[in-house]
Each structure stands twice: as structure tokens, then as C-alpha cells.
């Protein structure tokens, strides 16, 4: 392992958007710490197959809602890889089952807050403290924290209100940490995926989204793919946009463009 190879942590990296993000980062030469829920997990072949210039991957079990586990897992990753450069906050839970806002119970709401918001906030805090404690970054290093939110950070879906609330709150979390950490040379970014084709969306069926695509709701009229988000995250983590922090990056095919007709 090259001591100059950057190290990225990807939460929820075993499938879906997290796996697409991990693939892109590995191909770009990052070493990866994949963090997910499974007590024992075999990394997908796409993260272990030999490839020229690709980084190495290790797996770490953690529920991001378990805040006392954050520091030990981050410390283990730093010890194993010798450095930390990037945290990709991808892990989260969807609104299941879909429930009208007038019928939503407090347990479902609290669970979404516990994982999506509280867990992400305090993992970001712990990671930022470790970066600062490690001292200034090397001149050729780019240190970043990337939060994967959603179009639901701005668009309203009344049958998944707890998801919208947590994702919109994470947009403010991005701004807050960006403002606080800029002086320490740590960039904080928000990525808002659009209508994504993942195992999570497959569980709810795709008829509604197919109709939206056919109606021209999305200017780039296709499903978004994990690799679309992966390329966005890779550009940010690699420092391709060095004079930017705290901004939402829509990876949504133009869905956010205001239109009357």
C-alpha cells in the first residue's frame, strides 16, 4: 500500500449508491474502508478484483446510529491505512412503508432521525476531529467530507416525510461543517441524487418513475445510476473543485430545473 494513496471511508458501501461510489473511488486510486451493518460481509468482487491503479478495500462493521462505536471504528481505520482523507456519508434508511404525513408515527420518525441525521452528524463530527488532530494535510492531499442527501432535501414527498425532514436537515449540516472546517483545509460537500435505479427503489416498483421519465419530468430522460453518483463523489473527493464547499450538487438529470410547462 502506497503511503501517498488517499483513504476514503464509504458508509453503506456494500450495495446501491454506496457500492457505485466505492467503485469509482477505488478506480481512481483511493484505498477504501467500507462500513456497513453486516457483522461479517464478503466484499463484492468489483471491490476486490485486481485492476491497474486500483486501491485496496477493507470492511468494517458499524451501525452509524451507534454513536459510541464511531471513534473505535475510525481509529481502527486510521491505524490500518495510516491516514484518513475522505468520509462519504452515504448510509441511511428510506421511508418504509410509505405513510401519509397525517398517519406517520413517532417511532418511524425517530428511527429515521436516529440513523439519517443523528448518526451522520456525529460521525462527521468525530471524523473532523480526527483530521484536525492529525495536523495539517500534506501539500498534495485534499481532505473532504461528502454527505449523500437526496432530491428530497428540497422536493416534498408527503408519503415519506421523515425522509424529507432528515435529508433537508443534512443539507444544513453540510453548510455548518463547511463553514467550521474550511479554515482547517477540510472541504464539505452535499450530493443530491435524483431518481436512482438501485435495489432500494426496485423494492417499491418503478411504474411511477417510468411515467415521470416518459412525461419529460426529467430533462435527461433516464434513470440515474450508482455510477453517476460515483463519478460526482469521485470528482469532489479528488479535489477537482477546490474552490467550493458547502454547496448541494444535484446529480438528478436536471430534475431540479424550475419549469412552468
- The whole model's pTM is what? 0.95
* 224 secondary structure, DSSP code: B
| Residue 256 forms part of a structural domain | no
pLDDT, residue 188, reads 98
CA quadruple 220, 98, 148, 81: dihedral positive or negative? Answer: negative
Domain count, the chain: 1
| Residue 258 forms part of a structural domain | no
* Domain that includes residue 147, residue range: 7-251
| Residue 26 forms part of a structural domain | yes
Per-residue pLDDT tens, the chain, 261 aa: give them. 445 799 999 999 999 999 999 999 999 999 999 999 999 889 999 999 999 999 999 999 999 999 999 999 999 999 999 999 999 999 999 999 999 999 999 999 999 999 999 999 999 999 999 999 999 988 889 999 999 999 999 999 999 999 999 999 999 999 999 999 999 999 999 999 999 998 766 555 557 788 888 888 899 999 999 999 999 999 999 999 999 999 999 999 999 998 876
Q: Are 254 and 220 in contact (CB under 8 A)?
A: yes
| Residue 81 forms part of a structural domain | yes
Q: What grid cell was written down for 105? A: 408515527
Q: Are 4 and 59 in contact (CB under 8 A)?
A: no
| Residue 102 forms part of a structural domain | yes
Helix or strand or coil: residue 71?
helix
| Residue 84 forms part of a structural domain | yes
**For the domain that residue 74 is a member of, what is the CATH number?**
3.40.50.720
pLDDT, residue 261, reads 66
Catalytic machinery residues:
163
Q: Are 218 and 112 in contact (CB under 8 A)?
A: no
* Cα distance between residue 87 and residue 143, in whole Å: 9
| Residue 62 forms part of a structural domain | yes
| Residue 20 forms part of a structural domain | yes
Amino acid at each position: 500500500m502506497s503511503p501517498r494513496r488517499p483513504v476514503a471511508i464509504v458508509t453503506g458501501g456494500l450495495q446501491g449508491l454506496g457500492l457505485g461510489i466505492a467503485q469509482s473511488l477505488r478506480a481512481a486510486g483511493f484505498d477504501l474502508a467500507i462500513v456497513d451493518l453486516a457483522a461479517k460481509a464478503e466484499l463484492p468482487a468489483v471491490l476486490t478484483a485486481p485492476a491497474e491503479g486500483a486501491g485496496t478495500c477493507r470492511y468494517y462493521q458499524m451501525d452509524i446510529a451507534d454513536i459510541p462505536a464511531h471513534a473505535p471504528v475510525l481509529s481502527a481505520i486510521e491505524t490500518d491505512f495510516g491516514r484518513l482523507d475522505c468520509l462519504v456519508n452515504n448510509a441511511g434508511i428510506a421511508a418504509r412503508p410509505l405513510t401519509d404525513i397525517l398517519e406517520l408515527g413517532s417511532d418511524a420518525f425517530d428511527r429515521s432521525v436516529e440513523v439519517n441525521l443523528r448518526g451522520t452528524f456525529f460521525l462527521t463530527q468525530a471524523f473532523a476531529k480526527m483530521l484536525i488532530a492529525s495536523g495539517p494535510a500534506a501539500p498534495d492531499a485534499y481532505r473532504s467530507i461528502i454527505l449523500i442527501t437526496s432530491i428530497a432535501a428540497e422536493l416534498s414527498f408527503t408519503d415519506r416525510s421523515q425522509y424529507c425532514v432528515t435529508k433537508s436537515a443534512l443539507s444544513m449540516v453540510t453548510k455548518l461543517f463547511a463553514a467550521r472546517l474550511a479554515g482547517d483545509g477540510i472541504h464539505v460537500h452535499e450530493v443530491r441524487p435524483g431518481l436512482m435505479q438501485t435495489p432500494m427503489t426496485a423494492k417499491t416498483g418503478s411504474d411511477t418513475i417510468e411515467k415521470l421519465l416518459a412525461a419529460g419530468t426529467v430533462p435527461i430522460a433516464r434513470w440515474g445510476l450508482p455510477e453517476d453518483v460515483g463519478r460526482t463523489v469521485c470528482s469532489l473527493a479528488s479535489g477537482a473543485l477546490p474552490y467550493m464547499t458547502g454547496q448541494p450538487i444535484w446529480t438528478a438529470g436536471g430534475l431540479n430545473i424550475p419549469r412552468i410547462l
